Amino acid sequence: MAKVGLSLVSAEGAGKNLEQELEDYDWVFNQAVNDARNEWNELLGRIKVEGGTHEDKVKFYPCQTVHQFHVTKEGHPNGLPEVLGKGQDGEFNVDWRSQIVKSGMGQVDNLKKVNFNLNRKTPIQKQICEQLHIPYKQIIPTISTKTTDEYTTPKSKYVCISVQSTSKCKTWTQSGWDKVVRFLKAKGYKVICIDQHYSWGKEGDWTVAPKKAIDQTGNLPIANRIKQIMDCEFFIGLSSGLSWLAWALGKKVVMITGSTHKANEFDCFRVQNESVCHGCLNDEDLNSFDELRWNWAYCPRNKKQECRTKISFDMVKEQIIKCINIKRQG
């Protein structure tokens, strides 16, 4: 089990994100850890192993997945044991053979040295595939839905929305969301807001759940959120976690984003005004990304966050209509 915090800039920023974003979910994590420990004890307790040393009885099975590591000049991955290996700054030697064979991508004769000085305007999966000389395709993660049956959702058709993010530059306008809710209700959909908080932001500058939407905000179990998204018609959100969850669950996603480059996200019904300043989060010449996280109104290019404010309702409506039509055809 692991709790993960992410930052585009530094380990310190990732630590801050971890502390703030997962604070309310510590009880969920701790419960999952205890449940896993009890399950393993029950299963392994059925077997008695005799003979040999302690080391003989213990085997470690490495996780056969593609990992990213940032390596310091001393050659140690940040926050990871030295046993993982050493490399030059920005590089890390990884045995990719087990991953490639397991994925059915073909054989690799030798270890590949993979450069992790990745650019921000090409999908990470694609960059890794290019360096390994294997075909690229977008890989969607698998989400377990085993624990969702205890939760109920509306019988009539509905759409899930998420209007909040930890950075203001990743949000949209309050009036825009109100128009989206009215439009969807006129189309016969219920609209459920599933953000963690009803309101989020700074004093005098709050992003709140649309008044005409059904308020399902709160610290609900992730299994509940999964059930809500599984049963919805489609999802409308931002470049934030719930959009990725909806994508992983196979839902059509309408994503409203101004501050990211299209390579930052997955294939979706993307709404972005490319005629104005946009994509700063993926600009390699800008390094003050943690400022976006902790300074609510910060705009690195001093454009008053026009990337989000100049996304019109009509732009969003156009992608919603496309999503509805494709879903009907499918």
Distance CA 265, CA 138 (A): 11
The pLDDT of residue 122 = 83
Sign of CA dihedral 305, 306, 311, 312: positive
Indicate whether 298 pLDDT > 60: yes
Q: Judging by beta carbons within 10 Å of its beta carbon (0-12, 13-18, 19+), is residue 289 exposed, middle or buried?
A: buried
Q: Please state, rounded to an integer, the average pLDDT across all residues of the chain.
A: 75
pLDDT value at 124 more than 80: no
% of residues, the chain, pLDDT over 70: 67
pLDDT at residue 87 tops 50: no
**Which residue would you say has higher pLDDT here, 86 or 195?**
195
Looking at residue 290, its pLDDT comes to: 61
pLDDT of residue 79: 31
Q: What is the mean pLDDT of residues 92-118?
A: 39
pLDDT bucket at 61, cuts 50 / 70 / 90: very low
pTM of the model: 0.66
250 or 29: which leads in pLDDT: 250
Mean of pLDDT values over 315-321: 97
Domains and CATH numbers, the chain: 65-139 (no CATH), 158-329 (3.40.50.2000)
Of 324 and 19, the one with more pLDDT: 324
Beta-carbon count within 10 A of 84 CB: 16
* pLDDT for position 228: 96
- Average pLDDT of span 242-253: 94
